[in-house]
Amino acid sequence: MKSVPAKMTKKLLGELDELVEEGWYASRSEAVRDAVRELIERRKLDRLESAIKEDIKWGLYGR
């Protein structure tokens, strides 16, 4: 696995640490990996939704 250094504000790092302390994640790294996976999945869904809307628009209006 590769490392990706990232800078965070104290507030964001504190919130990340809270998630770990509350047991949602075993480590900061696990939490960050999960957040990145979720972001990528959301972006894929956004692109898919846009493509579907364009197809519908083309089907309805021929544009």
- Asked if residue 2 belongs to a domain, the reply is no
SS3 of the chain: the string is CCCCCCCCCHHHHHHHHHHHHCCCCCCHHHHHHHHHHHHHHHHHHHHHHHHHHHHHHHHHHCC
- Asked if residue 40 belongs to a domain, the reply is yes
Instruction: Compare 1 and 14 and report the one with higher pLDDT.
Output: 14
Extract the tokens encoding 40: 């990528």
pLDDT single digits (tens) 4-62: 999 999 999 999 999 999 999 999 999 999 999 999 999 999 999 999 999 999 999 98
The parent domain of residue 45 ranges over 10-61
| Predicted structure pTM score | 0.79
- In this prediction, residue 53 carries a pLDDT of 94
Question: Do 24 and 31 touch, CB atoms closer than 8 A?
Answer: yes
Q: How many domains does the chain have?
A: 1
Q: CA of 1: how far to CAs of 4, 29, 42, in Å?
A: 10, 11, 23
- In this prediction, residue 34 carries a pLDDT of 98
